[in-house]
Structure 1
Amino acid sequence: MIKRNIPIGLPSMGIEEWEACRGPIESGWITQGPKVKEFETNFAKRHQVKHAFAVSNCTTALHLALVACGVEPGDEVIVPAFTWVSTANAVKYCHATPVFVDIDINTFNIDINKIAEKITAKTKAIIPVHLFGLCADTEEIRKRFPQLMIVEDGACAAGSALNGKPAGGLGDVGCFSFHPRKSVTTGEGGMLTTDNDEIAVRLDRLRNHGASISEEQRHHGPKPYILSAFEMVGYNYRMTDIQGAIGVVQLGKLDLFIDERQKWAEYYAEELKDIAWLKTPEVPKGYKHGWQSYVTYIDESISPLKRNDIMELLQQKGISTRPGTHAVHMLDVYAKMYGIKPEDFPEAFKADQYSMSIPMHNKMVKEDFEYIVEALKSIQ
């Protein structure tokens, strides 16, 4: 077996993205402008929503979404215990309280049956996370808890869907990431989506210092020398036109990327099914998985090695792995802030300790997947 070097994720970019940058650079319009607008228009169309607003990253998207949904100091927001720290951090940015809920270990998403016990008179919103590209069951959340604003954390879920409806239009606001480990990337960057016209106006203004019109609108208007009105305190969370130009190209490849990942997800599932200690991802009926990551679960009660030892062994063979993500309630900052113990959310604890993401990206070739499968099968 020839040792390979397979990263956990790698963006699929080339000459088209390179050439796309020329327009903004040559025009001199580099900040948020026409290319960002084109990216937003295309993203909204692909995800079947009325409005899309590009921002600097998914964390700022989450922050703006919560503010636009009316989350204020003293409010509570439901957050799954197993997610990237940004989900909880965005709640803290609003001086609100993240209230953690355990997950369903079979999907890694929030356990809907454990939400009701965490709702109080202070609960304003919920952030279902479409973890690793599998949508949380937002339809059921809406049905059971119609009083809550739903902010989708779709950082991993561009192109994902639930019962034919794309992520981003399942709640009140959707939030996406274009980090290099995502299916499509702009380096850094994020997107907000909504069908709510009032929320859309707030999002558009909040991302641009609170200005009533964008700089591009002012610049091309009849009196570009007149500064915009400011009727709210906003933020500078804009995306650059260079990123927008790259995003237009990348978005055009999204479905091809997902289809290719789906093919290899099926390959992994078939080839790894006989490894008793390794559980591969489940995709419930009616869900379209975006496969941002391929996250397995190791049963250490029957595995020949512990999870971390398996990850080390694979690393020695040139195969990068990672835990799926972390249990936020176990991170020092939140554990100390709220006096939470690891066992308070047992399924999130297990996911933190025993999940393992193996390489899944569009730069991989057939031999890479075969090498990974052979390496896993050889662990005894």
Structure 2
Amino acid sequence: MRKIQISQPVTGEEEWLAVREPLESGWLTSGPKVRAFEQRFGEIHGVKHAIACTSATTALHLAMAALGIKAGDEVIVPAFTWISTANVVEYMGAKPVFVDIDLSTFNMNPEALKSKITNKTKAIIAVHLFGLCADMDRIKEIAGDIPIVEDAACAAGAQYKGVYAGALGDLGCFSFHPRKSITTGEGGMVTTQNDDYSETIGMMRNHGASISEEQRHHGAQPFILPEFNLLGYNYRMTDLQGAVGCVQIEKLEAFIAEREEWAKFYIENLKDLDWLKTPITPEGSKHGWQSFVCSIDESRSQHTRNRLMQILEEKGISTRPGTHAVHMLGYYANKYDISADDFPEAKKANDLSMAIPLHNRMSSEDYEHVVQQLKSI
């Protein structure tokens, strides 16, 4: 039976050959390949600084640390997102304050944001979920001087009114997990235009060291050890990953263009299914299409969302819920005494979203098969 995966990375001979150089040189930890990847990523996304790390989670953690988030502070996060968005706030001893979403985009509802801002609010994390940038103009208008961190884990290459994700807020945080449009296996990136944030994050990802391992290695004074004036972490990306990233970043535009073509195919060919709502792209946005997430109208469907996913699995088509409503997860629901219905749109997204396969290893026959099977239900 044909099996269509929800997502598969596109890697091959170019990536395999790219890791040969660091393997042969012996420079495996963060070094010249990571630096080259950072430079190219920053150039493409129109930012002054790009700092590589081990994941989007650690990127967000570094962003929180660079902003000086601490116990007693509040950071606003959308209720429908991957758990890392809220977890990094907890890591700092601060409180994540949830805000509901706009179900049509799955992103933060700016109008729901207003009532959540207090004198304890020290940052807002705007998530560009599934590759679609949040309504940044409205969020900025409401936020005023409050720093905005973009959780752009899904949004490499996405744009909002001609500006790339990662250049829209004070800091941007990206993921290179295999389910993202480009991958380094695991990995992340922080972007910023701010020199001070960049310097702080560059040190904090390396234990808080005042100079990098590469600077020490090539320096003329081998007796010098770094100074440590910050409490840092070991969040360095390896040069093996950086080498893969250097290859993958050059494919980003083509990957997104191909996904855009097939997203339009889905939207056109599934428009007559009244129980299936396909994604929208607001005017002025360029979707990054990390995934193609639909909503199920169970009042019109013969089956529940979960049963639909089971049927498609039986037909060899992988699906997934979009993501989870973080406020409904045990840790947050119990700690902050939150009810599932406190954020009704996030709850609907949690219960009714369904991602169908969209990636760069699918064939035209695969896409046609997905459409055919959806129509046959």
Given the two structures, how large is their TM-score scaled by the length of structure 1? Answer: 0.99
CA distance in 1, matches of 2:29, 2:127: 30
| Aligned equivalent of 1:155, options 153, 156, 159 | 153
Partner of 1:248: 246
Partner of 1:374: 372
Alpha-carbon displacement from aligned partner over 1:277-325 (angstroms, at most 9, x marks no partner): 0000000000000000000000001111100000000000000000000
Letter in 1 for 2:357: P
Partner of 2:73: 75
Partner of 2:27: 29
CA distance in 1, matches of 2:197, 2:137: 20
CA distance in 1, matches of 2:59, 2:222: 28
Letter in 2 for 1:43: F
Equivalent residues in 2 for 1:71-220 (5 A)?
Answer: 71-220=69-218
Partner of 1:354: 352
Partner of 2:38: 40
| Aligned equivalent of 2:49, options 46, 51, 56 | 51
Deviation at 1:147, TM superposition (A): 2.0
Partner of 1:320: 318
CA distance in 1, matches of 2:170, 2:28: 31
Equivalent residues in 2 for 1:259-278 (5 A)?
Answer: 259-278=257-276
Runs of 4+ in 1 over 4 A off after TM superposition: none
Deviation at 1:144, TM superposition (A): 2.0
CA distance in 1, matches of 2:140, 2:94: 21
Deviation at 1:154, TM superposition (A): 0.3
Given the two structures, how large is their TM-score scaled by the length of structure 2? Answer: 0.99
Partner of 2:363: 365
State the SS of the aligned residue for 2:107. coil
Deviation at 1:224, TM superposition (A): 2.9
Deviation at 1:88, TM superposition (A): 0.3
CA contact (8 A) 2:147 2:170 kept: yes
Deviation at 1:139, TM superposition (A): 2.2
Letter in 2 for 1:252: E
CA distance in 1, matches of 2:264, 2:136: 25
CA contact (8 A) 1:57 1:191 kept: yes
CA contact (8 A) 2:110 2:142 kept: no
State the SS of the aligned residue for 2:294. strand
CA distance in 2, matches of 1:292, 1:363: 13
CA contact (8 A) 2:127 2:150 kept: yes
CA distance in 1, matches of 2:292, 2:92: 32
Equivalent residues in 2 for 1:275-354 (5 A)?
Answer: 275-354=273-352
Deviation at 1:31, TM superposition (A): 0.2
Letter in 2 for 1:356: M
Corresponding pairs, count: 377
CA contact (8 A) 1:158 1:290 kept: yes
State the SS of the aligned residue for 2:151. strand
CA contact (8 A) 1:139 1:170 kept: no
State the SS of the aligned residue for 2:302. coil
State the SS of the aligned residue for 1:127. strand
Letter in 1 for 2:254: L
State the SS of the aligned residue for 1:115. helix
Letter in 1 for 2:263: A
Letter in 1 for 2:242: G
Deviation at 1:367, TM superposition (A): 0.4
CA distance in 1, matches of 2:223, 2:244: 30
More moved, 222-231 vs 353-362: 222-231
CA distance in 2, matches of 1:63, 1:179: 17
Letter in 1 for 2:264: E
CA distance in 1, matches of 2:223, 2:350: 54
Alpha-carbon displacement from aligned partner over 1:173-215 (angstroms, at most 9, x marks no partner): 0000000000000000000000011111111011000011111
Letter in 1 for 2:186: E
CA contact (8 A) 1:162 1:287 kept: yes
